Amino acid sequence: MSTIELSNVTKYFGSLAAVRDVDLSVGAGETVCLLGPSGCGKTTTLRIVAGLEAASDGDVLIAGRRMNDLSPSERDIAMVFQFYALYPSLTVAENIAFPLYYERTSSADRERRVKQAAETLDLSAVLNRLPGEISEGEKQRVAVARAIVRDPNCFLFDEPLSRLDVELRQTMRGQIKEVLTSLSKATVIVTHDQLEALTMADRIAIMRDGLIEQVASPHAIFANPCNVFVAGFIGTPQMNLIEASYAEVAEGEAELAFGDQRFRLAVNGASRALAKGKTMTFGVRPRAFTLAGAATAHTISGTVELIEPMGAETLFHVRAGEIDIRVVVPREIRISPGHVVHLACDPGQVHFFDAEGKAVQ
């Protein structure tokens, strides 16, 4: 069965722990995206799975077999890199067929498999052309076809779309997702593009400083980030994360105080677990705010400082004391800079984080 399992994987480069105690299981037919800021250890983790880098500690299992001491070729993995070097003097068909020359395949079988991979990736019309005679998108598809032409244990993709323009990326995301779904292999994709992760992954592993912070479905990561880092990392525009002090002022009602603002909110039992009077962080996504007609105890007031049209929506930067609050509203709402607005939000859309930055569910 095509599975990948990392158990307590750690990698040191000198004294730098690039990857720390990583546990990750990728099931057959599952796609997991490693997502995180530059230098967080995504590529190193992928290279350890591929056998291009040796783990300092921990185990790598592929299809249930311990791989630590096996070379990359012995692991039977197909990889697609950011720089998908195609052989310029070989035709598209010969480039796709290349991995099969290492296997004892008959030429009839080779031809059948190349034809099938080309059909899957819509390359049948360009099979006889050279890489110099096809588009960037087609080149990327040749790299993927070359990976799927074999029947490997699993797939690893390292920033596969980062060289393509925005439009092509969007098309390719869908195409690769479709191909992966049909192949039922364990797949790991490294990306720093959250849209890529949100659209292609069954689960996303968010990394920071060599650690996996959270592994969950795209929906769960977005809806229930486990800490302030993940909350701020996922979602565009970024979630508003506001440090405040928390106090209960009535049954089921809390007051969040920051700067000269006092903001009341209905709270449930879980958020009441926050220590009273202690600093905490509350998070509200920019689309979770609405504009209220007047200031009340349940609104935050601020002045519109900057307006960024985003097509169907508009992003307002609202200054509330020392805090810049991002608010996204439908473009029909027209407000000029300098206007005072009153922001309300559904209490169910507010995320609470304790003094250590951990989500209070």
Least distance from ligand ATP to the Cβ atom of residue 102, Å: 27
Closer by beta carbon to ligand ATP, 23 or else 119: 23
Binding test (CB under 6 A) with ligand ATP, winner from 43, 95, 153, 281 = 43
Give the binding range for ligand ATP (CB under 6 A) out of 24-32, 41-49, 127-135, 332-340. Answer: 41-49
Of the ranges 25-33, 39-47, 250-258, 310-318, which one interacts with ligand ATP (CB under 6 A)? 39-47
Pick from 21, 25, 27, 39 the residue near ligand ATP by CB under 6 A.
Answer: 39
Q: Applying CB under 6 A, which part among 38-46, 68-76, 230-238, 312-320 lies near ligand ATP?
A: 38-46
- φ, ψ at 253 (rounded to 5°): -135, 130
Q: Residue 333 and residue 266: Cα distance in Å, rounded? A: 27
Nearer to ligand ATP, 44 or 187 (CB): 44
- Residue of 41, 137, 225, 286 interacting with ligand ATP (CB under 6 A): 41
Beta-carbon neighbour count of residue 92 at 10 Å?
A: 27
Per-residue x/- marks for ligand ATP, 7-36, CB under 6 A? Answer: ------x--x-x-----------------x
Residue 55 in the binding site for ligand ATP (CB under 6 A): no
| 46 close to 239: Cβ distance less than 8 angstroms | no
| Footprint on residues 136-175 left by ligand ATP (CB under 6 A) | none
Close Cβ partners of 119 (under 8 Å, ≥ 6 residues apart)? none
Which member of 40, 149, 180, 320 binds ligand ATP (CB under 6 A)?
Answer: 40
Contact 11, 46 (CB under 8 A): no
Site string for ligand ATP, 170-209 (x = CB under 6 A): ----------------------x-----------------
Place of tokens 């490693």: 34
For 41, half-sphere exposure in the C-beta direction (CA atoms, 13 angstrom radius) is 25
Q: Which residues bind ligand ATP (CB under 6 A)?
A: 13, 16, 18, 36, 38-44, 192
